[in-house]
Amino acid sequence: MRGIPSRNARSKVEVVPSSGMCGIPIMGNETRESELIRLRREQTKTREDEVFLGSSAAERAEYEKKEDRIHELERDLPEEVLLRLLNSA
């Protein structure tokens, strides 16, 4: 379950605990920017791990959930914020 988007600059990520080690960590309030940065880093790590270790169906499903959230955040953030984040990566 994802937090409900709001006009507030902060979002709350709430995730139902999943089995295994591939659940999205439950974070308190964090800015949309920091959530996007965190999720991108986690996705990079997941892709690196997949190259060496492969991935299970549950891990692929979790990856896709995070990818959906990344797209949602990118769509909702102002363009100047997104450009700043892309340039700093």
Write out pLDDT tens, residues 19-45: 333 445 546 778 899 999 999 999 999
Write out pLDDT tens, residues 68-87: 999 999 998 888 888 888 78
Query: Buried b / exposed e across 56-86, counting CB within 10 Å, b at 16+?
Result: eeebeebbebbeebbeebbeebeeeebeebe
User: According to the model, what pLDDT value does residue 15 have?
Assistant: 42
Q: 71 φ, ψ to 5°?
A: -65, -40
